[in-house]
Structure 1
Amino acid sequence: MSRRKKSHQSHGSAQRPRFWGKHAVAAALDNPDRRVLKAWATREAAGFMQFPPEVPVTMADVTDLARLVPGDAPHQGVVIEVEPLEEIWLADLLAEAEERATLLVLDQVTDPHNVGAILRSAAAFGAIGIVTQDRHSPPEGGALAKAASGALERVPWARVVNLARALEEIAEAGFWRIGLAGEASTDLKEALGPKRVALVLGAEGPGMRSNTREHCDALAKLPISDAVESLNVSNAAAVALYAATVAN
């Protein structure tokens, strides 16, 4: 019986994810905490990516690169395989928070594009990090890194086993926990005030779980018009981060 030839079309794994796109790859290469295992690139892309000498680079054409990533992923001529970043502990993240700080807590937001976009907004508005439940959040991966546009390498991401317990720890560190809920009677602007704020967002559709709501100090809504029912969770996070930044 002949042995099936191993496919070279693997798109990476949770232990060895693949990133693509110029911004995601450049940020990974610039991050001293990120170990890049290997790279594939067109000659044009390799000319400006500045790969360290210890990273083995395989020259490839656009068609070959397309086989290394899922579907029609926009690789922009470069793909790398990396090791996931080392785990960040919530206690360490909170210990480094300054007097004025904004933290994002995501309750079972599982779409990697949304989490990536949220990381990008967190970087843009100076959030100290994001917190997610370990089992109900996406792993590091190409789609997430591409959506984050480099922010995956810059924004601390603490994964926890129990989100309710994490929210208790966040409160003990002096953070005012505001859960975003469309049916809340209070606008976010009115709920803001304390210098340390944790913005809690639930998944699209179900929103925050009841136990998560019970561990918030206040529930608030974004003042959107009646023309739309709700915002995408990543858009809501960006608006909420802006509001918190202005308030502080």
Structure 2
Amino acid sequence: MSNLSIGFLNSSINAATTTVTLKAGGINSFPIEPFFVTIAPKDELPTFSNSEIVLVKARTGQDSYTIVRAQKDTSAKSFPAGALFFIGHYYEQSLRVGDIFMTMNTSPGTGRLFMDGSTYRIEEFPLLAEHIHRNPAYGTIVNANAFTLSDMRGRAPFMYDGILGSLGAKGGTKTQALTPNNYKQNAWQSEYLGGGLQQGFSNLGAGRGSGMNTFAGGAINATGNNVPFEIMPPFVVINFEVVAG
């Protein structure tokens, strides 16, 4: 049951009923529609054969709901007054081994591990080891006793598109050293004027004409300092946690 959200049918329903009313005074703290609930006999353990999962589409009153019958491969059934009406634990809404979450936890949550390249014993996390065996992008099976998780530290995720590589492929760099091929095409001056002293005309100012000037030869373009170009976008630091079981 979820957050003790449970009610009891106020009256019996048949397999075609699409509106239910619950007994007043129950713990009817259900979420905003839509959501799934299970209807089951009150004096029996809920099973696939005696229960039914329905979709609550709308709230039609304080304790009344419009429902869609026979959800998640269950069949529509008749239920007596007093039958349980509760939110159950549904598989597709639960965490599964191999699910990866982004968190800001300083240590992994219960049943989870950081994707930081660490090595673990298979006997400790057999379900995750089997998941890695079937999905090798998660890590590496070292031997019959141990596995290593993939190291995702310092990396941003990209959804698989068949271009950047296979699942789990790594690439990219935080900085990039530019080369002349990266510059915009232009008429750069990089010729030497010869060694030693050179001579050329210089303007002496208004009314004075021009004259010869002596200068040292050499390249006239400046030399760079080999400082790499920063290509990191604005970022926030997080941890990747995997459900280990």
Rg larger for: 2
Structure having the higher strand fraction is 2
The question of a shared fold, defined as TM-score above 0.5 by the shorter chain, is answered with no
TM range (shorter): under 0.3
Q: TM-score of the superposition, structure 2-length normalised? A: 0.26
